[in-house]
C-alpha cells in the first residue's frame, strides 16, 4: 500500500501547472515511480485532444527511505480552478509547462504563476516549453515580464513524454531549492 504523505519525514510538493494540452499529466506519468492517479475524462469541449484532467494528477518519486517528492498536476481548464485552491498550500516547487504555438500572453502566465507562488525567493519556478519538435516557440516578452516581478525562472525546451526532459525540470527545481536554502543559511550566519 502507498505510504501516506504525512508518514514520510521529508515530503515535498511539486506542482505542475499550465494550460490545456501543455503536457502536465504526461510529465507526471513520465516521472512517477508509482502508477499515477489521474482524473482524465473525455472532454465535452473541443480542446484538440480526447482527454482532459478534471481533478488532480498524482505521482511520486522517492529520494530515499524517508524522503519523497509528491507530483501534483492540476487541470488546465479554468472552470476547474477550484482544484487549484486545494493544491496551492505548502508548495515546495513549481513547474510551468507552456505549449509552443499556443503560448498565453505574459500577463496571463503571471496571473497563473501568482496563484501558486507567494514568494519567488522561496518557491522555485521552472518553465518547460513543450511541443517544440512540431512548432517553433516564441516566448516574446516572457523573460522581461518575469524579471519585472522578481522571478528568476529558467526556461527549457522539453518533451513531457521523455524521461530525460522531465527529469531536467525536476532536478532544476531541486538545485534552485538547494541554492535558496544555502543562501538563507549564509544570510543567517
Ligand atoms: N509532439 C509532442 N507531444 C507532446 C510533447 N509533450 C507532450 N506531448 C503530448 O501532448 C499531449 C499532452 O496532453 P496532456 O498531458 O493530457 O496535457 P495536460 O497538460 O495534462 O492537459 P489538461 O489536463 O487537459 O489540462 C499528450 O498527447 C502528450 O503525449 C512534446 O514535447 N511534443
Ligand atoms: Mg492533464
Give the model's pLDDT for residue 7.
Answer: 84
Can you list the domains of the chain with their CATH numbers? 6-188 (3.40.50.300)
Nearest to 125 by CA among 171, 165, 94: 94
Q: Is the distance from the beta carbon of residue 134 to the nearest atom of ligand 1 less than 6 Å?
A: yes
Q: Is 14 in a helix, a strand, or coil?
A: strand
Q: Residue 179, Cβ neighbours under 10 Å: how many?
A: 11
Q: Residue 13, Cβ neighbours under 10 Å: how many?
A: 17
What parts of the chain have a pLDDT lower than 50? none
Give the model's pLDDT for residue 65.
Answer: 83
Residue whose entry in the numeric block shows the C-alpha cell 476547474: 80
Taking the centre of ligand 1 as the mean of its atom positions, its distance from the CA of residue 105, in whole angstroms, is 20
Look at ligand 1, atom 6, and give the residue with the nearest C-alpha: 160
Nearest to 101 by CA among 147, 45, 157: 157
Give the model's pLDDT for residue 1.
Answer: 67
Distance CA 159, CA 34 (A): 20
Distance CA 73, CA 78 (A): 14
Give the model's pLDDT for residue 10.
Answer: 85
Task: Write the DSSP string, 38-91.
Answer: --EEE-SS--SSSEEESS-EEEEEEEETTEEEEEEE--SSGGGTHHHHHH-TT-
Site to probe by mutation for ligand 1, drawn from 22, 23, 42, 53 as the one with most ligand atoms within 8 Å of Cβ, is 23
Q: Is the distance from the beta carbon of residue 143 to the nearest atom of ligand 1 less than 6 Å?
A: no
Amino acid at each position: 500500500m502507498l505510504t501516506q504523505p504525512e508518514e514520510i519525514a521529508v515530503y515535498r510538493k511539486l506542482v505542475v501547472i499550465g494550460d490545456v494540452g501543455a503536457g502536465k499529466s504526461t510529465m507526471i506519468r513520465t516521472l512517477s515511480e508509482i502508477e499515477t492517479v489521474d482524473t482524465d475524462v473525455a472532454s465535452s469541449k473541443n480542446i484538440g485532444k480526447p482527454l482532459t484532467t478534471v481533478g488532480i494528477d498524482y505521482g511520486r518519486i522517492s529520494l530515499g527511505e524517508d524522503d519523497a517528492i509528491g507530483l501534483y498536476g492540476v487541470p488546465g481548464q479554468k472552470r476547474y480552478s477550484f482544484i487549484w485552491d486545494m493544491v496551492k498550500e505548502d508548495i515546495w516547487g513549481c513547474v510551468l509547462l507552456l505549449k509552443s504555438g499556443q503560448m498565453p500572453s505574459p500577463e496571463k502566465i503571471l496571473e497563473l504563476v501568482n496563484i501558486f507562488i507567494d514568494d519567488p525567493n522561496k518557491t522555485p519556478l521552472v518553465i518547460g516549453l513543450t511541443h517544440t519538435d512540431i512548432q517553433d516557440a516564441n516566448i516574446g516578452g516572457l523573460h522581461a515580464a518575469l524579471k519585472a516581478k522578481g522571478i528568476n525562472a529558467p526556461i527549457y525546451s522539453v518533451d513531457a513524454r521523455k524521461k530525460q526532459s522531465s527529469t531536467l525540470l525536476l532536478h532544476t527545481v531541486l538545485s534552485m531549492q538547494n541554492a535558496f536554502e544555502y543562501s538563507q543559511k549564509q544570510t543567517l550566519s
